[in-house]
Structure 1
Amino acid sequence: MDRTTVLKWIGTACILLLGVTGLYLLVAEDPYGGEPVHVARIVSGPAKPDRQDAGIRPSITRDGQPEPLPSGHRVAPADIVIRDPMSMAQAEPGRDLDPALTEPGPHGPLPRIGPDGETSARAYAAPVSADALGKSRIAILVGGMGLSASATEKAIAELPPGVTLAFAPYGRDLADLARRARRAGHEIMLQMPMEPYDFPDNDPGPQTLLTGLDAAQNRDRLHWSMARFGGYVGVTNYMGARFSATEGGMRAFLQELSSRGLLYVEDGSSQRSLAPQIGREIGLPTAAADMVVDVVPRKDDVRRALDELEALAAREGSAIGFATGLPVTIDAIAEWAEGLEERGAALVPVSAAVGVTGS
Structure 2
Amino acid sequence: MTATGGCRLTLLLLLLGFAWPAGSAGAAATPVITIIIDDMGNHGGWGDAALAVPGPVTYAFLPHTPHANRLALKAHAAGKEVMLHLPMQSHDGNALGPGALTLHMTETAFKRTLEENLKAVPYVKGINNHMGSLLTRHPGAMAWLMQGIRSRGDLFFIDSRTTLATVARQLAVEYQVPSASRDVFLDNSRDPAAISRQFDQLLKRARRQGYAIGIGHPYPETSQVLAQRLADMEALGVRLIPASEMINYQRSRTLWHASSSPSPTVAKSLKQ
- Bucket of the pairwise TM-score, normalised by the shorter protein: 0.7 to 0.9
1-side partners of 2:237 and 2:29: how far apart? 8
1-side partners of 2:99 and 2:228: how far apart? 35
Contact kept in structure 1, 2:23 and 2:30, CA below 8 Å: no
Query: Secondary structure of the residue that 1:355 maps to in structure 2?
Result: helix
Distance 1:128 1:168, change over 3 A: farther
Aligned counterpart for 2:207 among listed residues 314, 317, 324: 314
Cα distance, 1:307 vs structure 2: 0.7
Contact kept in structure 2, 1:269 and 1:292, CA below 8 Å: no
Query: Which residue is 2:263 aligned to?
Result: none
Aligned length: 227
Cα distance, 1:356 vs structure 2: 6.9
Query: Which residue is 2:48 aligned to?
Result: 153
Q: Unaligned stretches of 5+ in structure 2?
A: 1-20, 251-272
Contact kept in structure 1, 2:63 and 2:98, CA below 8 Å: no
Q: Structure 1 segments of 4 or more deviating over 6 A? A: 127-130
User: In the alignment, residue 161 of structure 2 is paired with which amino acid?
Assistant: G
User: In the alignment, residue 181 of structure 1 is paired with which amino acid?
Assistant: A
Cα distance, 1:231 vs structure 2: 0.8
Give yes or no for the alignment of 1:265 onto 2:195: no
The structure with more radius of gyration: 1
User: In the alignment, residue 146 of structure 1 is paired with which amino acid?
Assistant: G
Query: Secondary structure of the residue that 1:185 maps to in structure 2?
Result: coil
- Name the one with the larger helix percent: 2
2-side partners of 1:270 and 1:154: how far apart? 29
Query: Secondary structure of the residue that 1:283 maps to in structure 2?
Result: coil
User: In the alignment, residue 174 of structure 2 is paired with which amino acid?
Assistant: E
Percent of residue pairs bearing the same amino acid type = 28
Cα distance, 1:298 vs structure 2: 0.7
Query: Which residue is 2:92 aligned to?
Result: 198
Query: Which residue is 2:75 aligned to?
Result: 181
Matches within 5 A, 1:28-107: none
1-side partners of 2:40 and 2:230: how far apart? 20
1:11-58 CA-partner distances (Å, limit 9, x unpaired)? xxxxxxxxxxxxxxxxxxxxxxxxxxxxxxxxxxxxxxxxxxxxxxxx
Aligned counterpart for 1:253 among listed residues 145, 149, 158: 145
Structure with higher RCO (Cα < 8 A, 6+ apart)? 2
User: In the alignment, residue 308 of structure 1 is paired with which amino acid?
Assistant: Q
Cα distance, 1:338 vs structure 2: 2.0
2-side partners of 1:145 and 1:323: how far apart? 10
Aligned counterpart for 2:123 among listed residues 216, 228, 231: 231
> Normalization by structure 1: what TM-score?
0.60
Contact kept in structure 2, 1:188 and 1:232, CA below 8 Å: yes
> Normalization by structure 2: what TM-score?
0.78
